[in-house]
Amino acid sequence: MTPSHNIQNLSSLEQLQQYQNQYKDCRIGLVPTMGNLHSGHLSLVETVAAHCDKVMVSIFVNPAQFSPQEDFASYPRTLEKDIALLANTACSAIFIPKNEEIYPSNAALSIYNLQNYPDVEPLSKVLCGVSRPHFFDGVVKVVCRLFELVQPYCACFGEKDYQQLLILQKITAKLFPTIKILSSPTKRNAKKLALSSRNNYFDAEQLEFATQLPNCMKETVQRLVSCQSKEQWQIILKEAKKHLEKYFSIDYFEVRDNDDLQLVESPNAKLNARLFAAVYLQDVRLIDNNPIT
């Protein structure tokens, strides 16, 4: 699909409906975002474009996924820059809903509460769900609400947020079984740091420090692949955490199964796992994950 420079900006539900009527015979793909876009987001657009006739990007800073102590108020909002970036992609429409359109007071959104799905909710209680217990409920609520409004053929999420991706795959299969969930590999900068909107909080020196995370994770995965015993497995992880503690405050650094996020504490012949990490540099939270293959 060739880049579209005539992107429609949809700032109301009425305009969204007009767009849907205009392209009612087209497969519309959705890329949900909170804006402050980077090339990682743009890669999601291209992934969707390969499966759909039209690509819509939503931009909505979702209050439901921020705790009172987090950075909702200061989260970067760069709409003009985002629109300019999307002009050079396959995006054909940007949906910029208002808070009252996503969360109307009369909406029955309780169906989207994770606690209603006991086979999915446990996935939200580990890794990021420990220090951010509100987060995945907020993500599921806003994504399901967007699915309800847009009714896309497919939607795409990045593997950097692997836990989020897994939860959304399972919830979508239950509530919106006709919507296909696509994934896109983690995009990284020249020094292998996973791209994130929050990287904008760093100065040049801090960005250099931040590269210690992907470097350490890569080395750790290489060591785990050739690991032969549970004792050695634990030593490898302990040494890696000790190294990271020179640069970061560690939230978690652990290996979990790809499918159910159960903790993996030793090597085995059928290893199907990833190394997951979340750390703080100053007050900025970084997450990453690497498959162990």
Question: Tokens representing 280?
Answer: 């703080």
Clarify whether residues 94 and 232 are in a common domain.
Answer: no
Any domain includes 2: no
Clarify whether residues 28 and 165 are in a common domain.
Answer: yes
Any domain includes 124: yes
Clarify whether residues 170 and 67 are in a common domain.
Answer: yes
Any domain includes 3: no
Question: Tokens representing 160?
Answer: 């950097």
Any domain includes 259: yes
Please indicate, yes or no, whether the overall pTM of this predicted structure exceeds 0.85: yes
CATH of the domain at 85: 3.40.50.620
Using alpha carbons, select from 59, 56, 61 the residue that is nearest to residue 19: 56
Positions marked catalytic: 41
Tens digits of residue pLDDT in 231-275: 999 999 999 999 999 999 999 999 999 999 999 999 987 899 999
Gyration radius (Cα) of the chain, Å? 20
Clarify whether residues 34 and 178 are in a common domain.
Answer: yes
Q: Which residues pair with 10 in a beta bridge?
A: 95
Tens digits of residue pLDDT in 38-91: 999 999 999 999 999 999 999 999 999 998 888 899 998 999 999 999 999 999
Q: Cα–Cα distance between 30 and 152 in angstroms, integer?
A: 6
pLDDT at 115 over 70: yes
Q: Cα–Cα distance between 130 and 224 in angstroms, integer?
A: 25
Helix 230-244 / helix 212-225 crossing angle, nearest 10 deg: 170
Query: Which residue range forms the structural domain that includes residue 264?
Result: 197-288
Q: Cα–Cα distance between 31 and 41 in angstroms, integer?
A: 8
